[in-house]
């Protein structure tokens, strides 16, 4: 099935365990989410993400405070980044560009060309500021971004809305793992409210674009990234497995809007059923 509106929440830096090529990036043993979990004994509670399947996603390497659920509400998987330089903006480019080298037509551009309304809300790094979109919103805090998202779900007409949560990205420079866990719990509580007001014709995708060691914010790590998909129209969720590139995200969005087969990514839209 296809969806009238697609909302993408980008958590920024949120790794969930070392990727197969971790040794190439000095990241053997990296597990950003696991470090957050360990830093918050008996305090990390993520009921909404748990219901979406976070515990199921980690069944081979369980978190101490997040359990598996028998019937997850969401579709859950993990993404292995494919970019070669593992730099800050590489994951965003990998998600939305249709080729890997240089400035290129992006998924945002294709939708804008066809006069589909696109909304970007982010700290506006240079890559996003160059995209052909209907509207850009500068956001500095997670709360600000999530309030805008809730308002857009309630009344908006943008076909694609992409929201970056700045604090998961920016606060890695100064926050402890426990403080990042606090941010994650606040996000989890607000996510529940967002899901409650979604329409049956809406699709929500949640992921991250890179990972950083919470104990050493100067160290970019090479980790799997989380992937969740949810719609009120989908009855229950299941595992999406491992996606081989962040470009699968852009490919899925494009297929939903009748732009299938562009670029290197593989759409998982047909798996959402």
Q: What is the residue-wise DSSP string for 199-218?
A: -TTEEEEEE-SBEEETTEEE
DSSP lists the bridge partners of residue 211 as 221
The count of other CB atoms within 10 Å of the CB of residue 103 is 10
Q: What is the pLDDT of residues 64-113, one digit of tens each?
A: 999 999 999 999 999 999 998 887 788 988 999 865 555 567 888 889 88
pLDDT at 174 exceeding the cut of 80: no
pLDDT at 129 exceeding the cut of 90: no
User: Which residue in 148, 131, 121 sits closest to 96, CA to CA?
Assistant: 131
User: Which residue in 249, 206, 268, 1 sits closest to 107, CA to CA?
Assistant: 249
Q: How far apart are CA 52 and CA 242, in angstroms?
A: 16
pLDDT of residue 160: 96
pLDDT of residue 199: 97
Average pLDDT, rounded, for the chain:
91
Mean pLDDT of 132-140: 83
pLDDT at 18 exceeding the cut of 90: yes
Q: How far apart are CA 72 and CA 133, in angstroms?
A: 34
pLDDT of residue 21: 95
pLDDT of residue 125: 64
Decide which of 25 and 103 is more confident.
25
Helix (H/G/I), strand (E/B), else coil: 113:
helix
**pTM of the predicted structure, to 2 decimals:** 0.95
Give, in order, the Cα–Cα distances in Å from 272 to each of 26, 204, 248.
35, 11, 14
Q: How far apart are CA 115 and CA 259, in angstroms?
A: 13
pLDDT of residue 11: 94
**Percent of the chain surpassing pLDDT 70:** 94
User: Which residue in 74, 88, 86, 111 sits closest to 250, CA to CA?
Assistant: 111
∠ at Cα 73 (67, 74), nearest 5°? 95
pLDDT at 136 exceeding the cut of 90: no
| Domains within the chain, CATH numbers bracketed | 5-271 (3.40.720.10)
Helix (H/G/I), strand (E/B), else coil: 159:
coil
pLDDT of residue 216: 80
Name the E strands within 108-238: 118-122, 135-138, 160-164, 202-207, 211-213, 216-221, 225-230
Inter-residue contact 191 to 149 (CB < 8 Å): no
Q: How far apart are CA 2 and CA 161, in angstroms?
A: 16
Six-digit token pair at 46? 């993520």
Inter-residue contact 225 to 71 (CB < 8 Å): no
pLDDT of residue 17: 96
């Amino acid at each position: 099935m296809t969806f009238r509106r697609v909302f993408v929440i980008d958590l920024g830096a949120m790794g969930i365990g070392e990727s197969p090529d971790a040794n190439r990036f000095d990241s053997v043993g990296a597990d950003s989410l696991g470090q957050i979990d360990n830093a918050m004994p008996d305090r990390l509670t993520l009921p909404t993400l748990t219901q979406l399947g976070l515990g199921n996603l980690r069944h081979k390497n369980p978190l101490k405070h997040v359990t598996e659920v028998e019937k997850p509400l969401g579709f859950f998987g993990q993404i292995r980044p494919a970019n070669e330089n593992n730099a800050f903006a590489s994951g965003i480019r990998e998600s939305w560009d249709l080729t890997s080298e240089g400035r290129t037509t992006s998924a945002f551009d294709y939708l804008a060309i066809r006069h589909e309304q696109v909304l970007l809300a982010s700290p506006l790094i240079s890559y996003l500021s160059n995209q052909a979109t209907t509207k850009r919103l500068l956001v500095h805090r997670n709360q600000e971004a999530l309030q805008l998202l809730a308002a857009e779900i309630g009344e908006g007409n943008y076909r694609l809305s992409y929201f970056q949560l700045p604090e998961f990205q920016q606060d890695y420079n100064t926050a402890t793992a426990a403080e990042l866990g606090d941010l994650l719990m606040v996000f989890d509580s607000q996510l529940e409210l967002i899901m409650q007001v979604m329409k049956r014709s809406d699709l929500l995708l949640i992921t991250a674009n890179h990972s950083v060691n919470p104990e050493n914010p100067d160290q970019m790590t090479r980790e799997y990234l989380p992937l969740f998909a949810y719609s009120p129209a989908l009855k229950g969720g299941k595992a999406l497995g491992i996606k081989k590139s962040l470009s699968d995200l852009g490919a899925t969005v494009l297929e939903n809007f009748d732009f299938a087969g562009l670029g290197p990514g593989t759409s998982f839209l047909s798996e959402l059923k």
